[in-house]
Amino acid sequence: MKFDTPAGQNPIDQLKVVGKPTDRIDGKYKTTGTAPYAYERHDVVANQAYGYVLGAGIAKGRVRRIDTAEAKRAPGVVAIVTTLDTPKLGLGKMNAANLFGGDQIQHYHQAIAVVVAETFEQARAAAYLVAVEYAPEAGQFDLAAQAGSAKPVGGGSGEGSGSGPEDRHGDFEGAFAQAPVKLDETYTTPDESHAMMEPHATIAAWEGDKLTLWTSNQMIAWGKGSVAKILSLKPENVRLDSPYVGGGFGGKLFVRADAVLAALGAKAAGRPVKVALTRPLIANNTTHRPATIQRVRIGATPDGRITAIAHESLSGNVPEGRPETAVDQTKLLYAGANRLTGMKLARLDLPEGNAMRAPGEAPGLMALEIAMDEMAERLNLDPVEFRVRNDTQVDPGKPERPFSHRNLIGCMKLGAERFGWAKRNPKPGQVRDGQWLVGLGMAAGFRNNMLTKSGARVRLGRDGLVTVETDMTDIGTGSYTIIAQTAAEMMGVPLDRVVVRLGDSDFPASAGSGGQWGANNSTAGVYAACVKLREDIAQRLGINSADAVFADGQVRAGNRAVPLAEAAASGDLTGEDFIEYGDLSKKQQQSTFAGHFVEVGVDADTAEIRVRRMLAVCASGRILNPKSARSQVIGGMTMGVGGALMEELAVDTKRGFFVNHDLAGYEVPVHADIPHQEVVFLDEVDPTTSPMKAKGVGELGICGVGAAIANAVYNATGVRVRDYPITLEKHFEKLPRVA
Ligand code: MOS
């Protein structure tokens, strides 16, 4: 089905099942431990051995020699594959650093061997007996120190945001010089780790040339193509299966060392092999969100109209790596005739930087939305009012291009009302509650909506059960449930008459999970397949499909009503199709919007920061399942608390690795850090996005929330911290004196 004109009325608009707050249909499996994750697929293939990955102990240089003699004699060892036995492998989709093969080391903990043994403990013990001789070289590990050598580059995040090396509209420098009120500040964000609960893990089994990987991956079709490319196999000989994913956050968009080394280990061992990356390898062997140094300049008239806005970002990466696209939202969020955005990329020899939850917008808004708060203060304007005055209904760089639907003002106004924003004291450092300095902060949230082709197959069985098959993944997001809701709505059956099967590359290729594109696109693909199936059913029953109404387990036309199952009486009926898109999203800018509001307390004695209340008001098109959408948004807000206050991969700038490579040293919020969180969805539909009239919402929760926290901290203390995470030593000595 080609979607190239705005959606009219369709069966989804009935909202009998879609749009209802619905418990996850996979919830019972998750909560009873019966949803098997990749490493736990004990029953899919017999005789599984264990692989343990050894990472390089240097950050840059060459592996001179690997001596495996002693390791091979260790108890239980079945096989060892080293990087020196293997030619340098090709890169898969979105991979920048080598995963394996050859003698060159590009980053610390790059995989250099996999040891396969009868048990995990035997594999690990033997791995430490592998003797490696390196020829190390000096590397560059310090982003700030490399600022001078960084080059202007364009690039995309792989998730929709992208920029040229420098994009200009009007005359930024001239307008900024003349602006009566202006700001020129620099903000920094650190390297961050996905720190998902489920590590990267794969079980690999060969049958001749055919390879099956039971793995944990967000993008099955990408993964299948990448594995084929990396291992020089025919794509039809590769199968990936990933029905449950315990978090990915962008770290599992692509194939990583677990999949490649499980496959190579299984080949060498002549039997199936399972590999999980250890926690330290997740920080240094896989990818991370790269650190940024961002300069924001804003010029405005005394009444608060932006006349000039510039956002420039510096990040670093391995040679094939892309820049962090932190400036992208600044092209679209606020009005202003004179604009400049630019990105620079420094060559670093740290592990590969790549997509992490809302790549680009999440760190970009952490800078831009503090800058907006600082400007509002200089203008003596309320931060909400300053943003309202600079709202735009068109792409400011291409005014002929409107937003398809934009209600940022509605988000901010409703948020202000519900949060009690009017009670905020605009003068910082004034409000006390016992030991606590109390502050309120807000920020705008913004993330683009992406359209991408997505397929599905829907089958009606003789028993009347509707089975949906697509390679779409559920990475904790609720895909199973919204896909079931879509099929139930389309076929006119209750939710418990729908079976959803996901994550298998033998199923039709879907949009996959990333860039908050999963929900709208994958359900639109299911919609398209259901339309096909409905036509087939109507035809079998001798009903004109335009007149057929699918409801209550029946197909009705005129005064005829036939049980749905009857259409499949002589055999299962299957509808398969995909949604693909015309140029609606080129003619109109599709984006999602939020108003984030936060209250913090800062301990007047110790400078400790506690988040006390959070509210997000979101405008994201139709919400398919308010319950799972809320879970997504509060998950993003929680990750935003981490980004604002805790998360930072500490770089050893001498040896070139992330030091705090476990969950003891890399701090993420726990339940005790998270206060009352409220999420409100504005009631809206966007007919330009798909027949579902929905948009992405999963990543909107993290976009802007970090700055709202930073702004609340400033309002509490009067001390502005522009260097994330805002840890207490960054403002402790400047806090108001305690009497
Ligand atoms: Mo992306 S960071 O997988 O949504």
CA 44 – ligand 1 centroid, Å: 28
Nearest to 325 by CA among 334, 336, 338, 314: 314
CA 252 – ligand 1 centroid, Å: 8
CA angle 254, 258, 260 (to 5 degrees): 75
Architecture field, domain 403-449+590-739: 2-Layer Sandwich (3.30)
Dmax (CA) for the chain in angstroms is 85
Nearest to 74 by CA among 117, 133, 111, 131: 117
List, for the chain, all residue ranges whose pLDDT scores fall below the cut of 50: none
The answer to whether the CB of 250 is under 6 A from ligand 1 is: yes
How far is the C-alpha of 396 from the C-alpha of 331, rounded, in Å? 7
Characterize the bridge pairing of strands 111-117 and 77-82. antiparallel
Nearest to 465 by CA among 367, 361, 563, 322: 563
CA 526 – ligand 1 centroid, Å: 22
The answer to whether the CB of 514 is under 6 A from ligand 1 is: yes
The answer to whether the CB of 354 is under 6 A from ligand 1 is: no
Atom of ligand 1 nearest to the CA of 513: 3
Instruction: Determine contact, residues 517/511, Cβ cutoff 8 Å.
Output: yes
Catalytic residue from among 385, 489, 699, 733: 699
Q: Which amino acid is at 11?
A: P
Q: Which of 253, 254, 449, 521 to mutate to test the pocket of ligand 1 (most atoms within 8 A of CB)?
A: 253
Atom of ligand 1 nearest to the CA of 158: 1
CA 520 – ligand 1 centroid, Å: 15
Helix (H, G, I), strand (E, B) or coil at 628: helix
Q: Which of 192, 249, 324, 352 to mutate to test the pocket of ligand 1 (most atoms within 8 A of CB)?
A: 249
Residue owning the nearest CA to atom 3 of ligand 1: 250
The answer to whether the CB of 355 is under 6 A from ligand 1 is: yes
Spell out the alpha helix ranges (H) of 196-339: 220-230, 257-269, 279-284
Torsion over CA: 396, 399, 401, 404 (sign): positive
The answer to whether the CB of 356 is under 6 A from ligand 1 is: yes
Structure tokens, 537:
């059913």
Structure tokens, 284:
């240094």
How far is the C-alpha of 380 from the C-alpha of 377, rounded, in Å? 5
Nearest to 695 by CA among 365, 447, 376, 398: 447
Return all residues near 176 (Cβ < 8 A) that are at least 6 apart. 182, 297, 299, 307, 308, 310, 338
Q: Which of 357, 472, 703 to mutate to test the pocket of ligand 1 (most atoms within 8 A of CB)?
A: 357
Q: Which of 157, 159, 325 to mutate to test the pocket of ligand 1 (most atoms within 8 A of CB)?
A: 159
CA 251 – ligand 1 centroid, Å: 8
pLDDT at 31: 94
Structure tokens, 15:
């909202």
The answer to whether the CB of 369 is under 6 A from ligand 1 is: no
- The hierarchical CATH code for the domain 38-138+198-284 is 3.30.365.10
CA 515 – ligand 1 centroid, Å: 5
pLDDT at 427: 97
C-alpha distances (whole Å) from 124 to each of 131, 216, 284 are 14, 22, 18
Q: Is 699 labeled as catalytic in the residue annotation?
A: yes
The answer to whether the CB of 159 is under 6 A from ligand 1 is: yes
The answer to whether the CB of 253 is under 6 A from ligand 1 is: yes
Domains 38-138+198-284 and 403-449+590-739 equal at CATH topology level: yes
Neighbouring-strand partners of residue 574: 459
Task: Among 3.90.1580.10, 3.30.365.10, 3.40.50.1000, 3.30.1200.10, name the CATH number for the domain at 2-35+451-585.
Answer: 3.30.365.10
The answer to whether the CB of 55 is under 6 A from ligand 1 is: no
Nearest to 428 by CA among 389, 367, 373, 369: 373
Atom of ligand 1 nearest to the CA of 357: 2
Instruction: Determine contact, residues 359/416, Cβ cutoff 8 Å.
Output: no
Nearest to 686 by CA among 701, 700, 697: 697
What is the gyration radius of the CA atoms in the chain, in angstroms? Answer: 27
Characterize the bridge pairing of strands 676-681 and 609-619. parallel
Atom of ligand 1 nearest to the CA of 159: 1
The answer to whether the CB of 288 is under 6 A from ligand 1 is: no
pTM reported for the whole predicted model? 0.98
CA 621 – ligand 1 centroid, Å: 20
pLDDT at 737: 79
pLDDT at 739: 58
How far is the C-alpha of 438 from the C-alpha of 610, rounded, in Å? 10
CA 517 – ligand 1 centroid, Å: 9
- Cis check for the bond before 725: say yes or no (omega within 30 of 0): yes
Question: Phi first, then psi: what are they for 134, rounded to 5°?
Answer: -110, 155
CA 250 – ligand 1 centroid, Å: 4
Structure tokens, 534:
């409905």
* Residue ranges of domains in the chain: 2-35+451-585, 38-138+198-284, 403-449+590-739
The answer to whether the CB of 218 is under 6 A from ligand 1 is: yes
pLDDT at 76: 98
The answer to whether the CB of 357 is under 6 A from ligand 1 is: yes
pLDDT at 206: 98
Return all residues near 598 (Cβ < 8 A) that are at least 6 apart. 440, 441, 442, 611, 613, 614, 615, 705, 708, 709, 711, 712
Sheet holding 273-276, edge to edge: 77-82, 111-117, 49-55, 273-276, 201-207, 210-215, 238-241
CA 357 – ligand 1 centroid, Å: 5
Q: Torsion over CA of 97, 102, 103 and 106, rounded to 10 degrees?
A: 0
pLDDT at 545: 87
How far is the C-alpha of 209 from the C-alpha of 46, rounded, in Å? 18
